[in-house]
């Protein structure tokens, strides 16, 4: 039965490398969906907010990965 867990873990790893990154994107998309249906925002404003949020999530993830990589290099 371990082989099933291994297969599922590998399939998950194909799509999600960083769980925090994926979760942050899902939360941001859900938030933007909620704001689009509950607040009177123009499509341009919604698009800018969507892009800005996703860009910040990407930058945060890249900085976190670089910091982790730098710490790994210093230890060796």
Show me where the domains of the chain are located: 18-75
Mean of pLDDT values over 42-47: 94
E strand residue ranges, 1-76: none
- Reply yes or no on whether the pLDDT at 74 is more than 80: no
Q: 9-39: per-residue pLDDT in tens?
A: 888 877 777 888 889 999 999 999 999 899 9
Asked if 1 and 27 count as a contact pair (C-beta separation under 8 A), the reply is no
Q: State the pLDDT at residue 76.
A: 66
Whole-model pTM: value is: 0.74
* Residues sharing a CB contact under 8 Å with residue 29, sequence separation 6 or more, in sequence order: none
């Amino acid at each position: 039965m371990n082989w099933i867990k291994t297969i599922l873990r590998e399939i998950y790893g194909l799509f999600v490398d960083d769980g925090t990154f994926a979760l942050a994107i899902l939360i941001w998309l859900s938030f933007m969906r909620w704001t689009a249906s509950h607040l009177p925002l123009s499509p341009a404003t919604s698009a800018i907010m969507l892009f800005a949020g996703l860009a910040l999530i990407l930058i945060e993830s890249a900085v976190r990965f670089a910091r982790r990589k730098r710490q790994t290099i210093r230890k060796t």
